[in-house]
Amino acid sequence: MKITVSGEIKEVQAELTVAELIKQENVETPEYISVSVNDDFVKSEDFATHKLQEGDNVEFLYFMGGGSDGIYK
């Protein structure tokens, strides 16, 4: 089946779960990502059971902390 992963169309096996896709895509630090499927967030506890469907649009989102040290000096 075909899905879009981070803007790239990919051919993947049917019944692929989000967890399997994360592994297949060699996502760095998977414990720190959020995943959206068709603009809906998938809870991390559902990664192993959420099956992807033909035409799904999957995005891996990395949240980073930080800020500017200089603006409050």
Give pLDDT tens digits for 49-61.
999 999 999 999 9
SS3 readout for 33-63:
EEEEECCEEECHHHCCCCECCCCCEEEEEEC
The per-residue pLDDT for 29 is 86
Domains and their CATH numbers in the chain = 2-62 (3.10.20.30)
**63 has pLDDT over 90:** no
- Is the confidence at residue 72, as pLDDT, over 70? no
pLDDT category of residue 28 using cuts at 50, 70 and 90: confident
pLDDT, residue 71, reads 58
Strand 57-62 relative to strand 2-5: parallel, antiparallel, unpaired? parallel
Q: What does the pLDDT read at residue 68?
A: 61
**Cα angle value 1/17/41 (rounded, 5°):** 105
